[in-house]
A and B are shown apart, each in its own frame.
Chain A
Amino acid sequence: MRPEAELTCAEVVELVTDYLEGRLPPEERRRFDEHVSGCDGCVAYLEQMRATIATAGRLRDTDLPPELEERLLWSFRDRRSPG
């Protein structure tokens, strides 16, 4: 790919993670911004990706079962140094 070539949408979707991670080199970042600023499809894609990340972030862990917590506390009592 020539450095001055415009990014295609198919290329943009492969760079989205590097973009969100702040890992695009400056020149590529510039081309990414340039493309997205004129492309509704890629704006929507980026929004969907952010929504996906946010949705994963809404998953909640379940508490440890009380028996397991109890077993862990017993292990701790058994193993901690005396005194």
Chain B
Amino acid sequence: MIPEQLVLLDGLRAGDEAAFAALVRLHGPAMLRVAQLYVRSRAVAEEVVQDAWIGVIDGVGGFEGRSSLKTWIFRILANKAKTRAVREGRTIPFSALDAGEPAVDPDRFRGPEDRYPGHWASPPAGLPEERLLESETLSLVEGEIEKLPPAQALVVTMRDVEGFDSDEVCNALDISETNQRVLLHRARSKLRNALEDYVNAA
């Protein structure tokens, strides 16, 4: 664990309010984003975040440091959010055993009768940097993430928006590395498609 985390963990265990406040400011915003992918409303997501922090306060005495403090906090968050989602009648299936959709529309590749089957018929072009930086583009990506199946949205949010590594995501969501990778692949592929369509349409 990184030294800064150890200081905060010691502070938390000692009942130091400043350490708790620092942790809340460090992880709270990402926790709220993640919680909103499980439950329907912002208000409920805020309650989930609150439940999670109470779980952290109550559980820190038994935290053994086998994962990072951040991973442990997000694992608690995921469990609280899942419970709440189930109570709302939602389930978040994480299984990615089905074949899934292709990453790219098959029509963009040459057909079996072509001399080069499976090669690009309409290859992608560049995504201009200045378009990607526009705030409308960011809103589009945010909206597209919300449209993904929840498990895909969770994985891509934690990995690519919040910068977790794959171990942290697997540990927090309690899924296998392979499953995590399949979900990430589907999510990123759909986001890329949406971004390409958006940039080309303008």
Contact = CB atoms under 8 A, between A and B. Distances in A.
Interface of A: 8-11, 13-14, 16-18, 21, 23, 39-42, 44-45, 47-49, 51-59, 61-65, 68-69, 71-73, 75-77, 79-81, 83
Query: Mostly helix, strand, loop or mixed at chain A's interface?
Result: helix
Contacts of B126: 44, 47-48
A58 B28 CA distance: 18
B68 interface: no
Contacts of B57: 75-76, 79-80
B132 A55 contact: yes
Contacts of B145: 56
A40 B194 CA distance: 21
Interface of B: 15, 17, 20-21, 24-25, 28-30, 32-33, 46, 49-50, 53-54, 57-58, 102-104, 106, 109, 117-120, 123-127, 129, 132-133, 137-138, 141-142, 145, 156, 160-163, 166, 181, 184-185, 188-189, 191-192, 195-196
A38 to B, nearest CB: 11
Contacts of B102: 10, 13-14
A55 B141 contact: yes
A51 B138 CA distance: 12
- By Cβ-Cβ distance, the 10 closest A-B pairs, closest first, are A8-B118, A41-B123, A61-B29, A80-B15, A17-B185, A41-B120, A56-B160, A10-B118, A64-B28, A52-B192
A53 B160 contact: yes
24 contacts: A8-B109, A10-B106, A13-B102, A13-B104, A16-B185, A17-B185, A18-B185, A39-B120, A40-B123, A41-B119, A44-B123, A51-B195, A55-B137, A56-B145, A56-B191, A57-B160, A59-B161, A64-B28, A64-B29, A64-B46, A69-B28, A73-B20, A75-B53, A79-B57
Contact of A52 (B29, B109, B188): B188
Contacts of B138: 55, 58-59
A13 B103 contact: yes
Given A41-B120, A53-B160, A56-B191, A21 B181 contact: yes
B103 A77 contact: no
Contacts of B33: 61
